[in-house]
Amino acid sequence: MVEPAQRRKRRGVSPEADVNDDTHVFYRNPFSYYPTVARGDGAYLYDEYGKRYLDACGGAVVSSLGHSVPEVVAAIKEQLDHVEFAHTSQFTNAAQEKLARMLTDRAPGGLNHAYFVSGGSEAVESAMKLARAYWVQMGRPDKWMVIGRDQSYHGNTLGALAAGGNRWRRAIYEPMLFKAPRVAPCFCYRCPYDKKPESCGIDCAEDLERAILEAGPEKVAAFIAEPIVGATAGALVPHPDYFRRIREICDKYDVLFIADEVMTGLGRCGSWYAIRQFGVVPDMLCLAKGLAAGFVPVGATLVHDRIVDTFSSRRHIFQHGHTYMGHPLAAAAGVAVIEYMETHRLVEKSRKLGDELLARLHEALGEHPHVGDIRGRGLFVGIEFVADRDSKTPFEPELAFHRVLRETAFDNGLVIYPMGGTVDGRRGDHALIAPPFVITRAQLGRLVTLLVKSIDQTLARLVPKVAS
């Protein structure tokens, strides 16, 4: 069967159309922009017409094991055969106890507790509220502020949006967001201080001290950051000393450090947790996406002993909660995902294949006149596109380069995650490549071939406009 032309046309998003990257349809809408997914198998997804797509981004960096993994499916079924749900205010369950142990055993020292929720935004909300509650417990009720960074994304709920620095997602909700100071991103390709990483003095980390002093240290509860920035900037790897300095500043002013590893955690960057690569221990660490690899929705916040001990010793509870916390199916899926990753040594594979992917991309696109930067860690790779490579000038936002690239790649049977980040206060273009850890080397080659073809076709489509 072939996809009807009329529907195909509807799906196609014209570059001029004023739609957000995140335009989501309401289902049962008279028309849908997207093809209907029918099945998945390994690194591939198939639509209802049998068209095959190489899933090179796991949706939004979710499907780290690929699709339809029998071991995970069996674990979910087995849990269903025993019990589907029991509320965490009345029962714990074996799956969440086991998953908590598995996550904390792999976490940096002191992060010995897990708080399970249903997704990334909930994990971030929980962490920020826990930070606030902690300082109240500690007799410092004035501490409530959360500092975030420009070029960051922490979720779409109001609190997570308030802490994040994605101006497009925040725009119309601005009046509803609590005041959260933001600091400079650690963005070496486009250093906000116009410096070189070899000699910069990490001014972007020092910016946190400025923001804390400006807000008043007595008011600041926490600082939140993605170890490697995902959705807003395309796998931005920080300066190697950045997080060490951040940790020092947080300690100096009694500010908790929340690492948002919703995208980067669980092997995505070539280690169980990306923050480990920067030699610091956060006070809390948020997870989702790769945690159950898309088999069920789940999120978690790992919490340091010193926070949990404060609650236990003062006999207080954390006044917060969601109905589906610690859901047995989600936890069973999480356990099966981690077991599968151990059995197949997928963290190591993410690291090695990531190096290979970066090398192949540098080979294929390193000299490309419209590729400004190729960056990332493990199977978490970003490409930034520019109109002019020397001046790093981005494409005009009206061209919607990233959106046309996404559509073109999709037509070529390649799913990538291009987004319009913010560059010098306006929209820039990047793509996130985050294939499943089970991708084969042959599929990796195919990914690069399809990507290069899609970039060239996108430019051919836009060139008259670029030139004019």
Residues of this chain that interact with ligand PMP (CB under 6 A) are 60, 119-121, 124, 153-155, 226, 230-231, 260, 262-263, 288
Taking the least distance from each CB to ligand PMP, the nearer of 154 and 430 is 154
CB 236, min distance to ligand PMP, A: 12
Taking the least distance from each CB to ligand PMP, the nearer of 376 and 459 is 376
CB 153, min distance to ligand PMP, A: 5
Burial class of 449 by CB neighbour count within 10 A (0 to 12, 13 to 18, 19+): middle
Q: Answer yes or no: are the C-beta atoms of 189 and 221 closer than 8 Å.
A: no
Determine if residue 462 is left, alpha or beta; phi over 0 gives left, psi from -120 to 50 gives alpha, anything else beta: alpha
CB 316, min distance to ligand PMP, A: 27
Of 266, 308, 310, 311, which is closest to residue 287 (Cα–Cα)? 266
**Residue type, position 279, single letter:** G
Taking the least distance from each CB to ligand PMP, the nearer of 111 and 259 is 259
Helices (H), 107-220: 120-137, 158-163, 167-170, 203-215
Taking the least distance from each CB to ligand PMP, the nearer of 207 and 260 is 260
Q: Answer yes or no: are the C-beta atoms of 13 and 33 closer than 8 Å.
A: yes
CB 417, min distance to ligand PMP, A: 10
Phi first, then psi, for residue 186 (nearest 5°) are -95, 90
Taking the least distance from each CB to ligand PMP, the nearer of 120 and 328 is 120
Helices (H), 24-93: 58-61, 70-82
CA distance 154 to 121: 7
Taking the least distance from each CB to ligand PMP, the nearer of 35 and 120 is 120
Taking the least distance from each CB to ligand PMP, the nearer of 60 and 399 is 60
Taking the least distance from each CB to ligand PMP, the nearer of 159 and 181 is 159
Dihedral, CA of residue 337, residue 107, residue 148 and residue 311, to nearest 10: 110
In this structure, the number of other CB atoms found within 10 A of the CB of residue 207 comes to 21
Helix (H) or strand (E) holding 391: none
CB 452, min distance to ligand PMP, A: 26
Query: Which residues does 343 contact at the CB level (< 8 Å), separation at least 6?
Result: none
CA distance 190 to 151: 11
Phi first, then psi, for residue 363 (nearest 5°) are -65, -45
CA distance 229 to 260: 9
Query: Which residues does 139 contact at the CB level (< 8 Å), separation at least 6?
Result: none
CA distance 291 to 11: 31
CB 60, min distance to ligand PMP, A: 5
CA distance 49 to 36: 9
Residue of closest CB approach to ligand PMP: 120
Taking the least distance from each CB to ligand PMP, the nearer of 293 and 387 is 293
CB 245, min distance to ligand PMP, A: 21
CB 126, min distance to ligand PMP, A: 12
Taking the least distance from each CB to ligand PMP, the nearer of 99 and 231 is 231
CB 242, min distance to ligand PMP, A: 17
CB 230, min distance to ligand PMP, A: 5
- With H, G, I as helix, E, B as strand and everything else as coil, classify residue 398: helix
